[in-house]
Structure 1
Amino acid sequence: MDRKVWGKVFDKQTLMVLLRLFNKGIFDRLEGEISGGKEARVFMATNDEPLAVKLYRVEAPAFETIWKYLKGDPRYSNIGKNRRTVIELWVRKEFSNLSRMYAAGVSVPRPYAFHANVLVMGCVGGENPAPQMKHLKGVQRSEELFDELVSQVERTYQVARLVHADLSEYNVLMEDGRPVLIDVGQAVDIRHPRADEFLRRDLTNLANFFKRPESEVEALVKRVKGRETGEETGE
């Protein structure tokens, strides 16, 4: 039988991973929890600046969803269904996606390190973690903010060659009025067979939140995709 998972996150192997990252100087202190969900919990950590440490649950109930996103991505093959192996591959994928998006100039947390089921990145908002975009009301949901988000989706597609695939008001943080895209583990290469479907879903979610007519979505898709080239980025 598998060893008992302590608190669904802090199993012995996860504790060893945290110790490894600590010994490498990635962070010097792990502090309170920032957020928690079905798949992972995020904790504040410190070094020269505030960091966010994301610990994926090996026994995540959303395992099947995670596996499906990996299966269709051309960057990964022969995935199998061993839980720990799949979760660790998912963390590698999220770090890869973050790195591609950050290098492309997309507004995402800065990636720092990963190992096994743990991902370390910059903490959006610093010592006072930034709130989700879902909390914006009325006039705060401005035309300028909507256009900026579509521009971020466009840069993700055209420069990073990725589609976020889970973009909504829940996966955008507001830092000093600036949107920051988070939770990019689901992001897929634009060669993914469902990339167009995911792109339309992302843009539909944004249109709905900003109370824009869904009839605009196709025009937004064309804007985001622009003049596609045959040049693609590997991992």
Structure 2
Amino acid sequence: MSLAKRKRPKREDKMIRTEKRLESDVFDRQSLFAIAKLMKDGHFATVDYPVAKGKEANIFCGTTTDGKKVAIKIYRIDTSNFIRMHDYIDGDPRFQGTSRKRFETILAWTRKEYSNLKAFHEAGVSVPRPIAFLRNVVVMEFFAEGNIAFSTLEQMGSENPQKDYDFMLTQVKKIYQAGFVHGDISEYNILVTDDGLKLLDCAQAVLLAHPRAEDFLRRDVENLVRYFKKQGVKEADTEKALAYIKDARPVLRGLEQLKYDEENKKE
């Protein structure tokens, strides 16, 4: 069955229902400055309509001068849970010394998402292609059918659970081989598109040097196993999945290479 024929949330549920609440809490002075500068730099020409509201950010669709659609993710400065962000920032050597003040934390979080997306995309992971970032705004590839954003795995369900489970484990393995753990994988941030599954929300991803990387990896795998078992994948198993993911030496970067070498001297 083609994706177009599968059940989707109603169009008005995706475009009309949330417009009022999405716009009012995101266009502060700092965000407007970043949007204006990104527009001036040619990354998009218009901000068209709201797409979704997440825990810390609002997503808008934008259009470039040549008519292409982009996703514009704006982190809310006043209402984001910046304290939770430090669970993933602290311990990441790329962001050592990040201030615990709200504004500085959100700026680091935005830069972290762009950096993670860039690394994942270069590693062949099925994520949005990052385009640009400034302050609390990230511009990236927009996955949509026409002007309507594709729905999540939680909304759509899996037409081929075994295939989708295997695919997602492969994505987690690619991330691991690149030296990272995503840290927040679930059916709520996996899009079902005409071109397959796409993984979103990469800001919280950490290097393997992070002291909680193993905990985050296990949680990601447990979430996938839980979901796909409910979808009928009987052989889904956390320990087997972890063994598959770790069956390769990661390509480590920067300061974390020191930790990896120290822990594996006897090999």
Partner of 2:71: 52
Structure 2 counterpart of 1:25, one-letter code? G
Q: Percent identity?
A: 37
Structure 2 counterpart of 1:220, one-letter code? A
Distance across 1 between alignment mates of 2:35 and 2:97: 28
1:189 aligns with 2:210: no
Distance across 1 between alignment mates of 2:234 and 2:96: 39
1:225 aligns with 2:259: no
Q: TM-score, normalised by structure 1?
A: 0.91
Distance across 2 between alignment mates of 1:94 and 1:215: 29
Q: Where does structure 2 lack aligned partners over 5 or more consecutive residues?
A: 1-22, 256-267
Offset at 1:67?
Answer: 1.8
Distance across 1 between alignment mates of 2:80 and 2:32: 21
> In the superposition, relative to structure 1, how do residues 50 and 234 fare at CA in structure 2: closer, same or farther (>3 Å)?
farther
- Indicate if the aligned counterparts of 1:38 and 1:60 stay in contact, CA closer than 8 A: no
Distance across 1 between alignment mates of 2:91 and 2:78: 22
Q: Between Structure 1 and Structure 2, how many residues are aligned?
A: 227
Q: Where does structure 1 lack aligned partners over 5 or more consecutive residues?
A: 1-5
Distance across 1 between alignment mates of 2:235 and 2:108: 35
Distance across 1 between alignment mates of 2:133 and 2:163: 34
Offset at 1:136?
Answer: 3.3
Partner of 1:166: 184
Moved over 6 A (4+): none
Partner of 2:57: 40
Distance across 1 between alignment mates of 2:26 and 2:248: 44
Offset at 1:213?
Answer: 6.3
Offset at 1:227?
Answer: 2.9
1:206 aligns with 2:224: yes
Offset at 1:125?
Answer: 2.2
Offset at 1:36?
Answer: 0.5
Alignment of 1:77-156 (within 5 A): 77-125=96-144, 127-137=147-157, 140-156=159-175
Distance across 2 between alignment mates of 1:143 and 1:59: 42
Deviation sequence 1:15-41 (CA, Å, 0-9, x none): 111110111111001011000023110
- Indicate if the aligned counterparts of 1:204 and 1:214 stay in contact, CA closer than 8 A: no
Structure 2 counterpart of 1:97, one-letter code? N
- Indicate if the aligned counterparts of 2:57 and 2:80 stay in contact, CA closer than 8 A: no
> In the superposition, relative to structure 1, how do residues 177 and 19 fare at CA in structure 2: closer, same or farther (>3 Å)?
closer
Paired residue secondary structure (1:55): strand
> In the superposition, relative to structure 1, how do residues 20 and 149 fare at CA in structure 2: closer, same or farther (>3 Å)?
same
Offset at 1:130?
Answer: 1.1
- Indicate if the aligned counterparts of 1:105 and 1:155 stay in contact, CA closer than 8 A: yes
Paired residue secondary structure (2:185): coil
- Indicate if the aligned counterparts of 1:14 and 1:117 stay in contact, CA closer than 8 A: yes
Partner of 1:3: none
- Structure with higher Rg: it is 2
The root-mean-square deviation of aligned C-alpha atoms, in Å, is 1.9
Offset at 1:128?
Answer: 2.5
Deviation sequence 1:98-142 (CA, Å, 0-9, x none): 0000000000001000000000001012533111011234x6252
Q: TM-score, normalised by structure 2?
A: 0.80
Partner of 1:19: 36
